[in-house]
Amino acid sequence: MASEIRVRFAPSPTGYLHIGGARTALFNWLFTRHHGGKFVLRIEDTDRTRNIEKAMAAICDGLQWLGLNWDEGPHIGGDFGPYLQSERTELYESYLKKLQDGGHIFEDQGALRFRSPREHVIVDDLVCGKIDFDLSNEQTHPDMTIRRPDGSWIFHFVNVIDDMEMKISHVIRGEDHLSNTPKHIEIFRALGATPPHYAHIPLILNKNGSKMSKRDEGARVEYYIKRGYLPAAVCNYLCLLGWSPKDNREKINIEEIIRLFDLNNVGRSHATFDPDKLHWLNGEYARELSDSEFYALALTRLKSSGVKIDNYPEEYVRAALQTCKGKINMFDELPAYCGFYFTDDFDYNPEGVAKHFTAENKPRLKAVRDAFSALQRFDAAEIETTLKITAANLGVKVGAIVHPTRLAVSGSNIGPSLYHLLEVLGKEKVLARIDRALSKFF
């Protein structure tokens, strides 16, 4: 059976890869990897008004970022190409003639229509079950156009021809295509061909129950690339939108997902996209990165955000970023989280200023400065001991001096471990920043 499995992802080149399309591609890819089959990428570019090359690049880039490598398609080729519909016109013409010769086509105001046999079509869907479509009423199910008056092809016809020619065994697509399926089956039958197996997966909805559209934030894969999401986390999350391993796990690596993936475990209910859960899951994956992986990704994100890290020694940059590992969920959080390492001209959090730069904290901050100034060794352990001793001498809890100290050296109320943060900055820079805060706010 494995050698017979051939699936396809057939997007239209809209200029971006929709997150719903990415989930469809992922389910196709998982299915064929589970069965050892072939994953085909086919571009349905019958709309001549689009910039096909640029739009196709956006799709390919998105799939490659997700790790969804295709076995046949653009840039790779294969035995059933070409894989752009715009390059398959002669093939469509030959099948049109077959339908015409069989009496299945008639002309209507310049358009060519397929003559429906007016019958019930039962779709035995692998997800939705058996559905009886009554196509006998011409008023509710008019004969479909397969070629427009201008000569351009309609999706229904070329989609069927390509699935037939490319020997697609299973069509896994969104539930919004379910109503198209009986029409497609009619064309298969008219050509004397056996239709593929169909599996229509649930739609992805926003948390408010609305259908996810291209205008929604997060509807495009490009959004996750730009924000610094990890593709492994995005794939993990997308696979759980409609499919379940049946053990309530939420974090599963892709190798195990491939092993477990089964269309029988795809549900009928609509899948709700929860950005907060994806944000959390990305953090779980980020915490598992090796130091070198984290450093490389963090470096890229900071540079693209305009942080001037090239002005600092590599050893300092590595030490600074190491204090952030395991503390963030998203790499686009880094500039705000650790930008203070790479500039002395930072702003101070207004709420923090109001809360921690108070009159009673002025002598405490001066005491911290004096204690730091006397240190011969300025490492995390010595810094922690010094702050605890200073707090005891002042008769306050250590938190009373930790918070104003953090605000003075970083401008923020939150951030990496203070003791390690101070060690990375170094004694000279820490003293200078405390002086700056004392002169500015007291």
Q: Which helix (H) or strand (E) holds 422?
A: helix 418-425
In sequence order, which residues have a C-beta less than 8 Å from that of residue 256 and are 6 or more positions away?
none
d(CA 10, CA 85): 10
Catalytic-labelled residue, pool 214, 226, 303, 440: 214
Q: Which alpha helices (H) appear in 71-146, and where do they start and end?
A: 89-101
d(CA 149, CA 176): 27
Beta strand 38-41 pairing with 6-9: parallel
Cα 258 to its chain centre, rounded Å, is 18
d(CA 78, CA 70): 10
Q: Which helix (H) or strand (E) holds 62?
A: helix 52-66
214 has catalytic annotation: yes
In sequence order, which residues have a C-beta less than 8 Å from that of residue 13 and are 6 or more positions away?
43, 44, 45, 47, 50, 51, 52, 55, 56, 58, 59
Cβ 220 vs Cβ 18: under 8 Å: yes
d(CA 282, CA 229): 7
**Closest Cα partner for 290 from 326, 264, 340?**
326
DSSP assigned state of 40: E
Cβ 174 vs Cβ 203: under 8 Å: yes
The residues annotated as belonging to the active site are 214
